[in-house]
C-alpha cells in the first residue's frame, strides 16, 4: 500500500505554501487537484504525474487518487488554502474508510488568514468562518449560524459570498447580521488573494449589503470593537490592550 | 523609514512556515519575538539581530521593534501560528498609528488548522475559534460566544483551554456547550503540535469536561455531524456529500 497526503497549498501563489507542503509534493509520485491549482504547481514539479478534474468533480478526483495510493503510489491531493477547511480531507477520510490507508494532512493558510493579512488584522479576536454556499448546506442552517455568530459578537470571515446561481446571498447575510450589529460595523473584502490582481477594500456593514462580491472574494465583518487604523481593519485582542 | 513585517511562523517546527515567511525573515535585519520562538528560528538565521522579551512583554517588544523600523531598519516580528489570530499584528497597528510606517502581514498556519490536521478534519465545515483566556476579555463575553457558537452548531476550536490561574475554564466551557450539543459530540485535543512530543486524542464532549488540558493544548469540538472515521475526527462538508 502507498501513502496519501492531503496538502493545503495556501492562496493563489506558490510561495504561500509551507516548507513542509513543498517537501511533501516534492516526494509525491502522483498529484491530484482542481485544474486551476494543478496549473499553479505544475511548473514547480514538472516531472510528476498529475490527475486533474473540473471544479465539481471532487468525489471522482478523490476516488482516482485513492486508487493510486491503494495501488502503492506515493499520492498527494492539493487543496487551495487549507487541506481541511472546506477542503478534501474529510471526503478522503470518508471514501478511504476501512481500507487501512493512512491519510496524512499537511495544513495550509486558508483564505480567512490570507485575506485577513491583506486587510490588516480583522481576526485579532474570536471569530467564525462561515460559507454562504448552499450547494451542500441548507440555507436555513447558514442563516442560523450567521445569526448566532453576530449575536455572539464574533468577527466573521465569509467564504463563497456569491455564486453564479444566487446573487443575493451576501445581502441576505448582512440583513441577518444587522439584527445584532451596528450598520457602522467595520467590514472588508479581499479579492484574488496572493495573485497579481490582488486587492482589498474597507466599508461599513451597511455598505457591504450592496457590495458586489464574486467567487474570488472573501468577506470580513468586524466585531463591535473593530476599527479602522491608517486604512486597515483592526480588531483589538482585548479591552485593556491599549493601556497595558 | 524602514519596513515592518509581521510574520506568522506556524506551529512549533520551522518547516511549518510558508516559503514567503522564510523569505521575509531572510531579508530582515532585526527580528523580534517571544523568546521561545526566537530560539526556534535563530539557528536558521544566525546572522540576524534579535530582540526577545518574555511571554507577557508584548507591548514592550512591539515598541522596541517599531523603533527599529522607524529608525530605518528592515524589521520583522515573529508570531507563533498566524500573525493576526491572537497575534501581534493588531497591537502593532495600534502602536504605529499615524507614524506613516507601512506594516506588511505574512500569514501563517494557526493552531486551529495545524491541530485539525493532526486530528483528521474536524473543521471541514463552518467553525468558530474562541480563546478561553480571560486575561484581556471578560469571562462573560467568552461565555456568550461559546453559547452562541454551540447554539449555531458551529465546530469550535478552543485556544488557551487552561491557564495557571484558572483550571476550570474548559470544564465550564463544556457545561455551556452541553446546553445545545449532545454529550456524545465528537471532540479532540491536539498537544504540542509540530513538536517531537506531538500527540492527539479523541473523546466525547462529556469526557472533555474532565479532560486535563494544559497551555500547549488546542481543543476541538465537533458539530452535530462530526463523526469518528478510522480513529480520526471528521466533520463532513455537507449533507449530500456521501451520495454525490
Residue A244 has pLDDT above 80, yes or no: no
**Between B120 and A57, residue with greater pLDDT:** B120
Task: Report pLDDT digits (tens) over B179-203.
Answer: 999 999 999 999 999 999 999 999 9
CA of A186 vs chain B CAs: smallest distance (Å): 14
Q: Is a pLDDT exceeding 50 seen at residue B82?
A: yes
Percent of chain A with pLDDT over 70: 97
Instruction: Count CA atoms within 13 Å of residue B133 on its CB side.
Output: 18
Spacing of C-alpha A240 from chain mean position: 31
Distance (Å, whole) CA A128 – CA B145: 10
* C-beta separation of A121 from B87 below 8 A: yes
Other C-beta atoms within 10 Å of A133: how many? 21
A7-21, A53-67, B63-77: least confident range: A53-67
Q: Which of B17, B114, B232 sits opposite A93 (nearest CB)?
A: B232
The DSSP secondary structure of A27-91, one letter per residue, reads H-SEEEEEHHHHHHHTTTSTTSEEEEE-TT-HHHHHHHHHHHHHTT-EEEEEESB-SSTTSSHHH
Compare CB distances from A124 to B90, B138, B148 and report the shortest one's residue. Answer: B90
Query: Would the CB atoms of B125 and A110 count as touching at under 8 Å?
Result: no
Nearest to A149 among B19, B137, B148 (CB): B148
Question: Nearest CA to A76 among A37, A112, A110?
Answer: A37
What mean pLDDT is predicted for residues A85-93?
95
Mean pLDDT across chain B:
94
**Mean pLDDT score, A167-190:** 97
What is the average pLDDT score of chain A?
94
CA B133 – CA A174 distance, rounded (Å): 29
By C-alpha distance, the chain A residue nearest B144 is: A152
Q: Which of A15, A89, A93 lies at the smallest CB-CB distance from B230?
A: A93
- Per-residue pLDDT at A55: 65
What distance in Å separates residue A154's CA from the closest CA in chain B? 7
Binned at pLDDT 50, 70 and 90, residue B55 comes out as low
pLDDT higher than threshold 80 for residue B178: yes
pLDDT band at B165 (very low <50, low <70, confident <90, very high): confident
* pLDDT reported for residue B239: 56
- Whole-angstrom CA distances from B76 to B13, B27, B81 are 18, 9, 15
Rounded CA separation A207/A20 (Å): 40
Name every chain B residue with its beta carbon within 8 A of the beta carbon of A234: 89-90, 93-94
At A1-40, the pLDDT tens digits run 899 999 999 998 789 999 999 999 999 999 999 988 898 8
| B-proximal residues of A, 1-20, CB under 8 Å | 8, 10, 13-20
Find cell 525573515 and name the residue.
Answer: B25
User: What would the pLDDT profile of A148-171 be if each residue is shown by its tens digit?
Assistant: 999 999 999 999 999 777 789 999
The answer, yes or no, to whether residue A50 has pLDDT greater than 60, is: yes
Q: What are the angstrom distances between the C-alpha of A117 and each of A150, B17, B230?
A: 22, 15, 36
8 A C-beta contact, residue A59 and residue A94: no
Pairwise pLDDT comparison (B59 vs B173), residue with the higher score: B173
Cα distances (Å, whole numbers) of residue B44 to B13, B38, B74: 12, 10, 18
A217 pLDDT tier (thresholds 50, 70, 90): very high
Query: Which residues of A fall within a CB distance of 8 Å from B127?
Result: 85, 128-129
Distance from CA of B206 to the nearest CA of A (A): 23
Rounded Cα–Cα distance for residues B244 and B233 (Å):
21
Q: Is the pLDDT of residue A125 over 80?
A: yes
Above 50 in pLDDT, residue B60? yes
Question: How confident is residue B243, by pLDDT bands cut at 50, 70 and 90?
Answer: very low
Residue A114, chain B, CB below 8 Å: the answer is: yes
- Chain A residues in contact with B238 (beta carbon < 8 A): 135-137
DSSP letter, residue A17:
S
Query: Under a CB-based contact definition with an 8 Å cutoff, are residues B20 and A16 in contact?
Result: yes
Domains of chain A and any CATH numbers = 3-109 (3.40.1010.10), 112-234 (3.30.950.10)
On whether the CB atoms of residues A78 and A38 are closer than 8 A, the answer is yes
pLDDT at B99 over 60: yes
Phi–psi pair at A8, nearest 5 degrees: -80, 125
Inter-chain touch B149–A128, beta carbons under 8 Å: yes
Query: Would you say residue B149 has pLDDT above 80?
Result: yes
Write out the H or E segment, with its range, that includes residue B175.
Answer: helix B169-177
pLDDT higher for B181 or B14? Answer: B181
Residue B242 has pLDDT above 50, yes or no: no
B210 grid coordinates: 474532565
Inter-chain touch A241–B110, beta carbons under 8 Å:
no
Question: Taking a contact as any Cβ pair under 8 Å apart, which residues of chain B between 157 and 196 contact chain A?
Answer: none
Do B145 and A127 make contact, defined as CB atoms within 8 angstroms?
no
Amino acid at each position: 500500500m502507498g501513502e496519501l497526503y492531503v496538502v493545503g497549498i495556501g492562496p493563489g501563489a506558490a510561495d504561500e505554501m509551507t516548507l513542509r507542503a513543498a517537501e511533501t509534493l516534492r516526494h509525491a509520485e502522483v498529484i491530484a487537484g482542481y485544474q486551476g491549482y494543478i496549473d499553479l504547481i505544475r511548473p514547480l514539479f514538472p516531472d510528476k504525474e498529475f490527475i486533474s478534474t473540473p471544479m465539481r468533480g471532487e468525489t471522482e478526483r478523490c476516488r482516482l487518487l485513492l486508487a493510486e495510493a491503494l495501488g502503492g503510489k506515493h499520492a498527494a491531493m492539493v487543496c487551495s488554502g487549507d487541506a481541511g477547511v472546506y477542503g478534501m480531507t474529510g471526503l478522503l477520510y470518508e471514501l478511504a474508510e476501512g481500507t487501512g490507508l493512512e491519510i496524512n494532512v499537511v495544513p495550509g493558510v486558508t483564505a480567512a488568514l490570507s485575506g485577513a493579512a491583506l486587510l490588516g488584522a480583522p481576526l485579532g479576536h474570536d471569530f467564525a468562518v462561515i460559507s454562504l454556499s448552499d450547494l451542500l448546506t441548507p440555507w436555513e442552517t447558514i442563516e442560523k449560524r450567521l445569526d448566532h455568530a453576530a449575536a455572539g459578537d464574533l468577527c466573521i470571515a465569509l467564504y463563497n459570498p456569491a455564486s453564479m446561481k444566487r446573487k443575493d446571498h451576501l445581502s441576505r447575510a448582512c440583513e441577518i447580521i444587522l439584527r445584532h450589529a451596528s450598520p457602522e460595523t467595520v467590514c472588508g473584502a479581499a479579492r484574488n488573494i496572493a495573485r497579481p490582481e490582488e486587492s482589498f477594500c474597507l466599508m461599513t456593514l451597511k455598505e457591504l449589503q450592496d457590495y458586489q462580491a464574486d467567487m474570488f472574494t472573501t468577506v470580513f465583518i468586524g466585531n463591535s470593537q473593530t476599527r479602522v487604523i491608517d486604512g486597515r481593519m483592526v480588531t483589538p485582542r482585548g479591552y485593556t490592550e491599549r493601556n497595558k
